[in-house]
Every structure is written in C-alpha cells, then in structure tokens.
Copies of this chain bind each other. A is one copy, B any other.
C-alpha cells in the first residue's frame, strides 16, 4: 500500500509536497504566489496579443495548464504559462492558416496545443526524449536572440500606434521598412505611453530594490524580495497606463472588452489536412518549450540541491499543453521571468502556483473591466522589456574562444530565424550543428607522442620535450574511427610513416633517419570502431606491410577490445596489441631482432 502511494507519488510529485507540507511554508508560498500573479496578468495579456489571440486566452493559459503542471512537475518553483517565444511560434504557425484574432485562428491554436501536448507525452512514453538534446546551447541561444529581435520589431507597431500591413513571416526587415514608410502615421499619444512605460520599467528594474529597507537575507529563496520588486515594473506600467487613458479619455489602441468569467471547454477542430500541416511546427514548438522549461527548472533545482527528472517534466509539460488545448488557451512553456520571481520571492512549493491562479481567477471574475482602457502601447513596452532580457549576445565572444563551431551554429540559427522564418531557422540551426559536429570529427586530431623523460607517460611531441625513436612512430588518434573520418585517418597515419620527420628525433644530426619499422596507434581516445573504420585498419595494415612496417595497437579500451576480438584482430594484424603504451615502447625500442615480425596475413582484398 505504502509502496503503491510512493509509486503514485513518483508520477504525481504533488503528493510528496502535500505529505511534507509544513505550516510555516504557507506564508512564503502566498507571498511568492501573489508576486507572480501580479506580474502574470499583464504579461499574459501582452503575450496573448503577440500570439494573435484574444487577451483572455493568455489568462486562461495561467489556469488549467499552470495548475496541471504544478501537480505533475518535479520542479518546485517552475511556473509555466504563456511565454514570448511560444507566442511568436504560434503566431508564425497559425498565421499561415487564418487571420489573427479570428475564431478560426483560435480553433487552429487549439489543435496546435493538443499536438504539442501529445508529442511531449509521446516523447516520454517512447523514451525518446533524448531528441531534445539536438537543440544544443548555441541553437537555442541563436534561436532566442533571433526571436527576440523579431518580437521587438513586431511590437514597434503597437508601441507607435501605427497599423502595419506586413505579416510576421515577411521578416524583420520588411516590418521595419513598412514602419519607416508609415512614420507620419505615428500616434504621439501611443508613443508617449509606450516610451513612458519603457522608461518606468527601466527605472524600477534599476532602482526598485533600493526602495526597500535593507534587511538581512531571509532563508528560502535566497531572500531576494528586492529582486521581486525590480520586476514590479510591468504591473505598475499597466496600472498607470490604464489610469492615464481612462482619466484623460486618450485616443489610443486599447485591449477593450474582455469577457468576464472562467474558461469554457474547447474542442479541437477535426481536419486531417490541417493536423498534418501543423505537425512539424507542433514538434518544433514542443521541443523548444521543453528545452526552455527544463533548463529553467534545472537551474532552480540545482540551487536547492534538488534534482528534477526530465522524464517527469516531459509528462508535466505535455499534460499542461493538453490542458491548454481544452481550456481555450495556447501552447505554454516555463516562464523564465515568473519562475525567477517565484523563486526569489521565497516560494517553497508549487502551492505558490495555486495562489497565483487565485489572482488570475479574481482578475477574470471581477477585474476584466479594467482591460477596457489598458493601452496596446504599454503592453508592447512590457513585451519588449521582457524579451530584451532574454536576448544574450555577450557570451558569443567567450564562446568564440572556447569552441568556434558553436558560434557559427548560433549565427546560422539567428540569421535563419530573421531571414527565413522562425521554424526554418530552428531546423537550419539543428542541421548546421550536426554538420559541424560531423565535420569536426571527420578531421581527427592525431598526435605523435614520445616518452616523457623516463616515466611511463607519453605526450604530444609538439607540446612536450619527449624522447622518440626513429624506427617507431607512435600516434594517438583522438577520435573514434568511423565512417566520417576513416579515410582521412588512414591517409594521415600512412603519411606519418612516409614523413617521420613530423616526429622530431632527439638524436641530433641524424639527418639520414632510419626507416620506420613500427607504427603504434594509441587507442585511448577511440571509443568505438565501425565497419568502415575496421576496413580502414585492415587496409592500412596491408599497405604498411608492403613497406615492411608493422602496425601495433595500445591502450585499447574494453568495448573496443571486445570489438576487435570479434573481428579476429590476431589474424590480420602484423604487429601486436599492447596493454599500455609503456609496454609497447619497451618491447619495440629494445635491441632489434628481439621483436618478431608476424607473417604477412592473407591478402583479404583480392577480388
């Protein structure tokens, strides 16, 4: 019985939370929940408009989806709901099928949410969640940076009160050109409100914490209540903007009437063609939503010596999106801003998400009239500030020094998102990262090594003062031997035997170097060999044998040793397999004649 519950609680982490809940956790969760709720309302409305959906769809996304996730997630502070990136992807996907803010658009979004949810659950059930690893660090950051610019550009129109005709898919440049052409149409009131909102939020972000009396850090959530206060800007901007518009009766675009009350059950459109068309985009949204959510959850968990379970997170986010589909919302993901505030405000358990949901319910029941005068310009400012924080170009210089291909991947994804399209950019990024990875491993680092003094250690002749012997070339291949690099490795190893001067001898003046008799391949970095690699080794053995050079191996790792035994290495290798490089050097550099050349193996390449 206890086992049954413990089993159940591994699928429903909320059970553990409930069982271990302490009365003193409640005030922390309530404070955090209220803080998150306050920020959530304006963000939810703003992101809904960005996604091309009515304001209430954003609020609905903070009910069923957020609560389903809170019940299922192994993270204690991660808050899911409407986010900017997912909103952009929804707009780019659904915008191809229906005009924004229409009923058809909402119906298609419902299908998309359901697909995203089902895909995530399937990834979990089929145990192929590992596919998300294809969205590497540079792909995600290039994607987020590109998306941030697209979003900021898309918000220039509402910020300035200009009605644009260009669509999201026309790209950032077309939008900017379009705006520049319509510059005379700028609504100064809207621009004033928007810029005012931007300034207000920047000010709060910078000096908000200073308003609070300095207190010693409280336990839980690192006691960064000040941090939460720096995030109050959007709420203040929304309230002030609404008050100003209502008081002076300003003529600017406003959200307008929002239906009061709770979401109703929505059912996805059944249209096979539509489902099929949306599927690739749903997959990409699912992957991006998961990667973003999981990385936020992982960061928060690691601060508390907790672990989050990627399998459970797939399930939780999948279920949340299925919930979004049936409650008139749209695809949800983990929110970086709101999760950070939740954590910083001291949230200890997912109970804070329920408090936050309470704020949303209050808003939906009694506060919807306030949206009548909430200006679009201020919402645009809120979106701009939020995505501005997502973008990060500073790490690129550091990454360039660390690993250049990642910077290329970043720019390919970034340029793809801006020039080709949101989803296409992501696919381009993944493809480039695979190509660059294969290209890297296709040109393996091969180091000629020598003995370090009298030690049993061997190092690259180019980096260390080591001892080498004329008749023995020892090469460490720093890559598994497989199809992408077999041919290159063969050429380069053969070349080492032809031009042994690459391995400088320590005996000076020995210009007429003795002929190479042994090539030793040090396999410490060879993690597997595929059949193309095996053919290469056999061919190389043969090729060297014709020049009276014997091929030896050392430091073969367990799995590769097993492989080579299956391949009957003893039948075709002209040299020996040594346990260590030390053994190999000892055997091969002692008086000649001691080492016995094995018979040339049967020519296995005859037709």
> Is residue A442 contacting chain B, with contact meaning CB distance below 8 A?
yes
Q: When chains A and B are docked, how far (Å) is the Cα of A133 from the Cα of B525?
A: 21
Nearest B-chain residue to A479, judged by Cβ? B527
Instruction: Assess whether A457 is interfacial by the CB under 8 Å rule.
Output: yes
**Quick one: given A528-B440, A557-B525, are A534 and B607 in contact (CB under 8 Å)?**
no
A298 touches B134 (CB 8 A): no
Name the B residues within 8 Å of A441 (CB-CB): 480, 527
User: A403, A479, A547: which has the most chain B beta carbons within 10 Å?
Assistant: A403
User: Are A403 and B302 touching (Cβ within 8 A)?
Assistant: no
- Indicate whether A487 reaches chain B with its CB closer than 8 angstroms: yes
Q: Which residues of B contact A136 (CB under 8 A)?
A: 482-484, 530-532
Q: Provide the residues of chain B in CB contact with A478, threshold 8 Å.
A: 527, 557, 559
Residues of chain B within 8 A (CB-CB) of A307 are 494
B525 touches A525 (CB 8 A): yes
- A433 interfacial by beta-carbon distance below 8 Å: yes
Segment with Cβ contacts to B, from A87-95, A324-332, A535-543: A535-543
Contact between A402 and B566, CB atoms less than 8 A apart? yes
Which residues of A447-494 are within 8 A (CB) of B? 447, 456-457, 460, 463, 478-480, 482-488, 494
Q: Is the CB of B433 within 8 A of A483?
A: yes
Q: Tell me if B482 and A531 are in contact (CB < 8 A).
A: no
Cα distance A588–B580 in the bound complex, in angstroms? 24
Q: Does A406 reach chain B (CB closer than 8 Å)?
A: yes
Which residue of B is nearest A459, CB measured?
A: B558
With A302-B543, A524-B524: A483-B137 Cβ-Cβ less than 8 Å:
yes
How many A residues touch B, CB cutoff 8 Å?
78
Pair B445/A484 contact, Cβ less than 8 Å? no
Nearest to A583 among chain B residues (CB) is: B457
Q: Is the CB of B403 within 8 A of A563?
A: yes
Q: Is the pair A137, B445 in contact by a Cβ cutoff of 8 Å?
A: no
Q: Does A299 contact B (CB under 8 A)?
A: yes
Give Cα distance in the complex from A437 to B87, angstroms. Answer: 34
Determine whether A546 belongs to the interface, using a CB cutoff of 8 Å to chain B: yes
A403 CB contact (under 8 Å) in B303, B494, B528: B528
The complex places the Cα of A528 from the Cα of B403 at a distance, in Å, of: 9
* Shortest beta-carbon distance from A524 to chain B in Å: 5
Residues of B within 8 A of A133 (CB): 442, 483-488
- A401 lies within 8 A of chain B by Cβ: yes
Tell me whether A305 is interfacial, beta carbon within 8 Å. yes
- Bound together, the chains give a CA A106 to CA B546 distance in angstroms of 46
Q: Among B303, B563, B603, which residue has its beta carbon within 8 angstroms of that of A605?
A: B303
- Is A414 at the interface (CB under 8 A from chain B)? no
Q: Cβ of A529 and Cβ of B302 under 8 Å apart?
A: no
How many angstroms between the C-alpha atoms of A398 and B346 in the bound complex?
60
| A253: min CB distance to chain B, Å | 32
Residues B524 and A399 in contact, CB atoms below 8 Å apart: no
- Whether B402 pairs with A302 at a CB distance below 8 angstroms is no
Cα of A456 to Cα of B579 in the assembled complex, Å: 13
> Does A585 sit at the interface, judged by CB under 8 A?
no
A574 at the interface (CB under 8 A from B): no
Q: A residues within 8 Å of B by Cβ?
A: 130, 133-134, 136-139, 298-299, 302-303, 305, 307, 310, 336, 340, 344, 395, 398-399, 401-403, 405-406, 433-434, 437-442, 444-445, 447, 456-457, 460, 463, 478-480, 482-488, 494, 524-532, 534-535, 539, 542-543, 546-547, 557-559, 563, 566-567, 579-580, 603, 605, 607
A-B pairs with the 6 shortest C-beta distances?
A136-B483, A137-B532, A401-B566, A305-B546, A478-B527, A406-B531
